[in-house]
Amino acid sequence: MASRDLNNRSYQARSGRADPEPLDVLKSAATSLLRRVPADVWCAVMLDPATLLDTGGLHEQGFRAESMPRLFEIEHGEQIGVDNIRALARRRAASSLLSVSTGGDLAQSVYYRDILAPEGLADELRVTLKADGCTWGLLVLCRARESAPFSAKDLAAAEAASAPAAAELRRALLLKGIDDVEVPDAPGLVTARPDGRITYVSRIADYWLAQVSERHRNPGTTTHTLTAVLSHARRRTSADPVSARVRLNSGRWLTISAWTEALGGEETVIASLTPSLPAALTALVLNGYGLTPRERQIAQLVILGRGYAEIGDSLGIREQTVNDHMRKVFAKTGVDNRIELCTNLFTRHHLPVLADPPLSTDGRLMSSG
C-alpha cells in the first residue's frame, strides 16, 4: 500500500473536498430531522463528552435569551429533571419525549414549568448524539400548544437520526486541520456574581469567546457555553473546578474552567479560558476515529513505544491478537504502519502527548491506584 499524504490541507487540495465544520454538521442533522419531525422551536448543541457541558451550537430558532439562565441552572447547576442531559446520556435510547418521560403529567417537571410553559410550548423531544458510548451533541425540538403533539413515529425518526449525526459531528470536531494564524496563547479571565451576572471579562477572554462556535438570534448574546460552565460551577460543593473543552471556529481547542471563591468578602465565580493542553485531547483524537476501547488501549501503548509482545504480556493476550487489533487501528486511522501512527497521525491534532497511565475515553486521566 502506497504511503498516504496525511496532511489535511494537502488532502483537501487533491480531493477538492473540504471537511465540514461542526456547526454545519449540526445544521444538516437538524434540518434533515425537521423535514420528518417539524418543530416550532428547536436548537442544536455540541457537548463535551466528559462533562456534558455545552461547547457551542445553533440557537437562532431556540429559546428566548431570557429563558437561558434558568435553563442552564436546571440543566447544569441543579442537574434535575427526568430528561436532564446527564440522565439521557446514561440511557440506551438516544431519543426522549418529555410527555412520555413524565407519564403524561408534564406539570411535575420543573423544566416544563419554568422553561416550556412560559414559552407557550407543550412538549419537548430530545435527541442525544451518541457514538461509541460518548455523547457529542443534543438536538432539542419543541412544539407549541396549538400544534399537533409528537407521535411514536416522530420518536422513532429521532432515534434513527442519532448515530449517523453523532459520527459526523465527532469527525468534524476532531479530524479537521488547525488554523495556522498566530494567536495569543494567554489565558482569559471572567468573573461573575453568584446569581450569574458577569462582572468582568478580560480582553483575552473576550477574544476567545468571540471564536466559540455559536449562532444566536440576537447579536451580542453571552455565549451559552460560558453560561453553562458558570452555572455548573455555582452549584458545586467541591472546590475543584469544572471544565469543558471547546473547539473554536479557528480549529483550535479551548478549555473553559470555572470555580467559586471569596474575593473581597464576596463569593465570586471565576472562569479561566486557556488554550487546551495537547495531552487533554489525546483520548478525544483516538475516539474520533471510532476505535474500540481495546483498540484505543493498544494504540496508546504502541505510541508510548511498547512492542507487540510486551503489550500482549501486559494485557494477557497473544501477540498475534495485538497485531490483529493494530491492523484495524491502521485501517481506521488511515496510516500504513506504527511509524506513521506515531509520527503522522497526531500532527493533525495539535501533537498531543500521551500520558501514562492512559486517558479514559472521555479525556480524563485514569487513576493509577
The H or E element that residue 230 is part of is: helix 224-235
Better pLDDT: 340 or 11 = 340
Tell me, what's the pLDDT at 116? Answer: 97
Is the distance from CB of 137 to CB of 44 less than 8 angstroms?
yes
Residue 172 corresponds to which cell in the numbers above? 468534524
pLDDT per position as a tens digit, 320-341: 999 999 999 888 888 888 877 7
Query: If you average pLDDT over residues 355-365, what whole number do you get?
Result: 41
Is the per-residue pLDDT at 355 higher than 70?
no
List the strands of the sheet with 198-201, edge to edge.
198-201, 188-192, 266-275, 253-263, 242-247
Interval 122-139 mean pLDDT: 93
Least confident of 50-59, 68-77, 215-224, 273-282: 273-282
User: Residue 345 — pLDDT band, cuts 50, 70, 90?
Assistant: low
Share of the chain above pLDDT 70, in %: 81
Strand partners, 57: 45, 214
What integer best gives the mean pLDDT of the chain?
A: 83
> pLDDT tens digits for 131-165?
878 899 999 999 999 999 999 999 999 999 999 99
Question: Which pLDDT score, from 0 to 100, does residue 306 have?
Answer: 87
Looking at residue 13, its pLDDT comes to 33
Which pTM was predicted?
A: 0.73
pLDDT value at position 279? 57
Q: What is the pLDDT of residue 346?
A: 53
Grid coordinates standing for 54? 455545552
pLDDT at 79: 92
The pLDDT of residue 183: 53
- Tell me which of 10 and 74 has the higher pLDDT: 74
pLDDT score, position 2: 29
Going 106 to 109 to 110 to 115, the CA torsion angle's sign is negative
Condensed to tens digits (0 to 9), the pLDDT of residues 96-112 reads 999 999 999 999 999 99
Is 206 a residue whose pLDDT tops 50? yes
Which of 65-74, 256-265, 352-361 shows the highest mean pLDDT? Answer: 65-74
| Planar angle of CA 34, 225, 208, nearest 5 degrees | 120
3-state SS track over 113-157:
HHHHHHHCEEEEEEEEEEECCEEEEEEEEEEECCCCCCCHHHHHH
Average pLDDT over residues 285-305: 80
Residue 177 pLDDT > 60: no
Residue with cell 429521532: 158
Q: What percent of the chain has pLDDT over 90?
A: 56
Q: Does residue 326 contact residue 319 with C-beta atoms inside 8 Å?
A: no
